[in-house]
Structure 1
Amino acid sequence: MRYLLIVHVDPALIGPLSPEEGRGLTRRCMAYDDALRRSGHLIACGPLAEPETGRIVRRRGDRTSITDGPYAETKEHVGGFMLIEARDMDEAVAIASKSPMTAMGSIEVREQPPMEG
């Protein structure tokens, strides 16, 4: 079963990191991703740019609107993602709990159900 791990970053936790601490966090994250890839769990992953760089696209009827980000005022913002393969929710949560990014915010674990069509 597939799960999307949505990485929420708290700027109050990641902002104070020194450049060296930031590089260390990146190295730990990449090592963790590599281990998940080797174990067959990791399908895809990546960081996301700051929310201010994003845009929200909506369509209502025949009208499309585009709004510059961020679209919500929150303490944390989405900073990255991992799409994984796991036996069940418990294994997906166990995988998320070992990520170095849990110390910088939180990781939301969501099942990706198969699409019916």
Structure 2
Amino acid sequence: MKYVCLGYIDESKFVTLSEEEVSKIMEECLDYDDVLRRGGHFLGGEALDSARNAVTLKPENGEVVVTDGPFAETKETLGGILLLEARDMNHAIALMSKHPGAKMGPFEIRPADETINKLVAERGAAITDEA
């Protein structure tokens, strides 16, 4: 099964870290990502820029309105995503609980919606076939 792991971070705490501390944390995270790769569990991922550079689209009176930053009212913002292959949720939890990024903030683990993702893949393949 595929799982989407959402890593959250409190940016106000992160910016207080020294360059050396950030380097050490990143190296630990990348090293563990390599462990996941070697085990066939790492499917991909992306780090995200600061929430200060984000916008949120939301419906308002039948229109789409753009607002600055993330919509959620929280100190912790989404810092990145990791796509994981695991046997089941317990396996995903076991793998991600060892990830050094979990020390920086919470990781939310959600099963991927295989039915919808199959539809998305089929549409993508159809567009590719048209080209």
- Please confirm whether the aligned pair reaches a TM-score higher than 0.5, indicating the same fold: yes
Say which SS state the counterpart of residue 44 (structure 2) adopts.
Answer: strand
**Unaligned stretches of 5+ in structure 2?**
120-131
**Greater radius of gyration (CA):** 2
Is there any run of 5+ residues in structure 1 with no aligned partner, and where?
none
CA distance in 1, matches of 2:11, 2:56: 21
TM-score by length of 1: 0.88
Change in 2 beyond 3 A, CA 1:12/1:50: closer
Percent pairwise identity: 37
Higher strand share: 1
Displacement after TM superposition at 1:113 (Å): 2.5
2:73 corresponding residue in structure 1: 73
Bigger shift: 86-95 or 50-59? 50-59
CA distance in 2, matches of 1:106, 1:92: 14
Task: Number of aligned residue pairs: give it.
Answer: 117
Does residue 14 (structure 1) correspond to residue 50 (structure 2)? The answer is no
- Note if 1:36 corresponds to 2:28: no
Where relative contact order (Cα < 8 A, 6+ residues apart) is larger, the structure is 1
Query: What is the root-mean-square deviation of aligned Cα atoms in Å?
Result: 1.9
- Give TM-score scaled by structure 2 length: 0.80
